[in-house]
Amino acid sequence: MALAPDRAVRGLLFDRDDTLVIDVPYNADPHRVVPVPGARRAVERARAAGLAVGVVTNQSVVAKGLATRAQVDATNARVDELVGPFDVWCVCPHDAADDCACRKPRPGMVLDAARLLGIDPSELVVVGDIGADVGAASAAGAQGVLVPTARTLPAEVEAAGTVAATLDEAVGLVVAQVRAVRP
């Protein structure tokens, strides 16, 4: 599946856990950050194509009281060091029961990232491993690419408009879209 053939793309937002780094549930320890194979190369490809890059990540570890926001920020700084750099980080520290506007699949973080990057949300693509990631993209007016993992539900794969087998393939789809639409 491909992205919309006539939409300009200026920015790429990534989910953090199981997209850029191996998921360690509720991780707020920078020493436990391990990039997904090829993550740094994928981000470099996006930058080389002229895309702004960012991360949008649900981190309910804060709301659950298992870590502080400073610990999450330190963990994100380690991801930035190993995989980035990223132009913007948007973090939702809430739990699902908090009913906030930022927690994916709601559009808040995608809209915030668009504002901070100075890019219309329709010119963004969000890459993630679960339905909430592509749902947030859709809710914000952006495009989404699902990169399934072992925890991705079959229904999420079926519902996704664009699915890629790997992070590298997902970035390749986005880069191809940039080249196809660029004047």
Catalytic residue positions, numbered: 15, 17
C-alpha distances in angstroms, 156 versus 82, 89, 102?
29, 25, 20
Q: Do the beta carbons of residue 32 and residue 159 sit within 8 Å?
A: no
What span, in angstroms and rounded, lies between the C-alpha atoms of 114 and 156?
25
C-alpha distances in angstroms, 76 versus 10, 12, 27, 89, 176?
23, 17, 10, 8, 28
What span, in angstroms and rounded, lies between the C-alpha atoms of 17 and 77?
14
